[in-house]
Amino acid sequence: MFPVRHCKVVHFVRHGEGFHNVAGKKDYSQYKRWDLEDAHLTAHGWEQAHALRKHLAKLPEPLNVEAVIVSPLSRALQTAVGAFGGDAWQPNDPDEALMVAQEAVPEKGVQHEAVSSAGCPPFIAWEYCREHLGLHPCDRRGKISMLQKTYPAVDFSLIETEEDELWKPDSRETHAEIRERGAAFVKWLLARPERRLAVVSHSSFLFYLMQNFGHQVSTTVQGELRRWYENCEMRTVIISDGGGESGGLDPLWFPGGHRLEGHTDE
């Protein structure tokens, strides 16, 4: 039992199908293709994002998401726009476009109309919920200046570098490092003022993030929590800070909290 003020409802979403997913399923070595750098959604991936949006609209009770936290990789941004964005944007609309119109590029991108930010919660891009870092060009993000032009209403202010300085061409993040990044990300979520959040991220990151949690529950619940995410799958969890505002993160209720030394909330 926890005080509700120390709890948040978080809807974790994996991005829709990307061009790299299609290629990688056929041959894993295709993930190293440079023409799949910062891979975009396929037509089916966009359909998945739109289907999630329709599903959310039919729920008996709205999610009332106060902010959408999204990985700055294009496939995650597109999924967030498709699932949580507004209707089609027109040049004379008073609200800023959440995403400008996309042109089709064979084997790289799909044509899509501009999307409005009207009636949407804030969209915040954050590096900590990116995919497994290194080696695979599909996981290398684009320049922030270009992403800002494509997604005008998305807040990229938390990302400090124009170029991707986290992704390395010759080394890959370890699973332990992803788990540590995931724990730091959840600590960051707990420090935010919103009570209801959506997070649009990636399969490996979400899988290893969830390994930090559920140690005190049954194996059945652990399996549900830690199961691999399918494309555009959404799962809702409640996260709690048992330490409270004055005591910091209590490792009894926040497994992995002891590994957060050296991280800041900035």
Return the active site residues.
15, 131
Opening angle at CA 248, ends 244 and 253, nearest 5: 70
Spatial contact of 110 and 79, defined as CB atoms under 8 Å apart: no
Opening angle at CA 150, ends 53 and 182, nearest 5: 65
| End-to-end C-alpha distance for the chain, whole angstroms | 30
Neighbours of 13 (CB within 10 A): 25
Can you give the C-alpha Rg of the chain in angstroms? 18
